[in-house]
Structure 1
Amino acid sequence: MTETQQGPRARYREQTRAEIKEAALRQLADGGAGALALTRIAKALGLSGPALYRYFANRDDLLSALIRDAYDDAATAIGEAAATVRDRSPRERLRVLAGAYRAWAISEPHRYLLIQGSPEPGYVAPDDTLERARAVLGPFLPVFAGGSPGADAASMVDRMASWLEAEAGVGAWVAEYVPGAAGDVRASAVALAGAVMAWAQLHGAVGLEVAGQFAGMGHDGETLLAAQNGMLADAFGLSGER
């Protein structure tokens, strides 16, 4: 079969896969992962059940595709934000990156919840989601690379140094975003400790906000996140100057 003959077929397949994913996202938005039903998707798109399985092997396969897309979109949002503040101070970069993370999550709450925890009992995410998750967190690494962590963060830096020594792949990930830290366990550990702590902080504050847990508490997610960013920046001695 010629390439010309294959082209339209491949395009049709990708278009159908995209339509299936769009229908699945509507179900997720309406009722979470538990509402995802392949039979309902097939009916909505005018497909038979067996026809839908030509595009996704099963429900977990479809969930995995949605998770990959969500990570990729979140990484794009964070990466674009990082590009706009590359020459700003570390504190300002942290503020902007954290704000981009929050903005994506509250604009895509059903997709955020899909990647911040197991979508349902028994589901196991494919191995390739690890690299996608690291792409979301990666732009935070250079923010902390030049930091001077105080005593409160010292134990976390030590723990990250042990992780780096145990897994070569972690060092390669840090070096991808902080080339100057390649081969320097201490510098890599500082960058990694800050990024991991930022992720934990973001997940806590943003996760609570997306889940509606701030209702009636007299504050908003943006104010809380700004306060947390300030404390984390202080813990790592991040400069407010370029």
Structure 2
Amino acid sequence: MGAEGKTRGRRERLRAETTAEIKQVALALMSSGGPGAITLRAIAREMGMTANAIYGYFPTRDDLVTTLIADVYTSLADTVEASWNAAPAEDPVARILAWADAFRSWALANPEGFRLIYGDPVPGYQAPEGGAAPDAAHRVCTGLAGLAADAWPHAEPLHAGSGFQWSDFDAGLVDKVRAAFPDLPPAAVALALRIWGHLHGLVSLEIYGHLLTQTPAPEKLYREELARLIRSLGLTPES
């Protein structure tokens, strides 16, 4: 590599490192001051940069927030997908537990990211048309449909009276779910969203500290809820 190539490579590396630091500082500011604390001027001040310099990385605060949401959502989707795929395909209980445990572990390791995508909105933020991270969000929802698909042979008799139609769900989600699980009926997608509600509710309470004064064992509470959920699907929880 010539001198010009080395110089270009060094600039690109430094730019990538600075971009990563900007995102880290933004999440740290959110952790200490809430969503409204994410401003380019505050980040520049924390990093010892001028405001004009940081605009060279993110022209607006909303560009930064959109990038953060996409990064965080993609990280979550990658994590839960990997855990689900690693569990035995023939064992629906193991697959549900793997996805659920990965979701909670990711949230506890990334509380600021969880709050960014599932918590209070960033004041004044305008997401791009279609959302900040539509593909990652659909991947998470499609993964939940996978949990329903795993359980559906056992759960179907318990949900035979469902009146859900495909028109009851987002068209983009329907396209992805039907491509991944062509035999899955609308009732199973509704079941997937109810599974999501069970898992998200307790994790959200834990992330926001609402369980701390109620129980010193949030993990045990989560496991008990998972066992109840698995039984409601016509399956037998692991002992």
TM-score (structure 1 length as normaliser): 0.81
Q: How far off is 1:203 after superposition?
A: 1.6
1:77-226 alignment runs, 5 A limit: 77-126=79-128, 127-146=131-150, 147=152, 148-151=155-158, 153=159, 157-159=162-164, 161-163=166-168, 167=171, 169-178=172-181, 181=182, 184=183, 187-218=184-215, 220-226=217-223
Contact 1:90 1:239 (C-alpha < 8 Å) held by counterparts: no
AA paired with 1:59? R
Q: Hey, what's the Cα distance between the residues in 1 that align with 2:54 and 2:41? A: 9
* Farther off after superposition, 5-14 or 203-212: 5-14
Question: Contact conserved, 1:142 with 1:191, CA < 8 A, in 2?
Answer: no
Query: Residue 35 of structure 1 corresponds to which residue in structure 2?
Result: 37
How far off is 1:190 after superposition?
A: 3.9
Check if 1:232 corresponds to 2:219: no
Note the alpha carbon deviations across 1:163-206, whole angstroms, 9 max, x for none. Answer: 35x73x3332113443xx2xx4xx24244223211211122110
The AA in structure 2 aligned to 1:226 is R
- Percent sequence identity over matched residues? 33
Matching residue's letter, 2:199: L
Task: Return closer, same or farther for 1:201/1:122 CA change in 2, 3 Å cut-off.
Answer: farther
Native 8 Å contact 1:141 1:177 kept in 2: no
Cα displacement string for residues 97-119 of structure 1 (whole angstroms, at most 9, x for unaligned residues): 11110111111111101100342
Q: Which runs of 5+ in 1 are unaligned?
A: none
**Structure 1 residue 230, shift from structure 2 partner:** 2.8
Q: Report the equivalent of 1:70.
A: 72
Post-superposition CA distance 1:26-45 (Å, at most 9, x none): 21222221222322321232
Match of 1:49 in 2: 51
Give 1:216's aligned amino acid: T
Listed as ranges, the gaps of 5+ residues in structure 2 are none
Give CA-to-partner distance per residue, 1:8-53, whole Å, 9 cap, x none: 5444433321121122122122222122232232123232111111
Pick 1 or 2: higher relative contact order, CA cutoff 8 A, min separation 6. Answer: 1
- 1:6/1:218 Cα in 2 relative to 1: closer, same or farther (>3 Å)? closer
CA distance, structure 1, for counterparts of residue 236 and residue 166 of structure 2:
23
Query: Contact 2:76–2:106 at 8 Å: present in 1 too?
Result: yes
Native 8 Å contact 2:166 2:174 kept in 1: no
1:32 touches 1:110 (CA, 8 Å); kept in 2?
no
- Confirm or deny: 8 A CA contact 1:79 1:139 kept in the other structure: yes
Note closer, same or farther for the CA distance 1:12–1:120 as it changes in structure 2 (3 Å cut): same
Q: 1:154 Cα deviation (Å)?
A: 5.3
User: CA 1:19–1:121 in 2, change beyond 3 Å: closer, same or farther?
Assistant: closer
| 1:21 counterpart SS class | helix
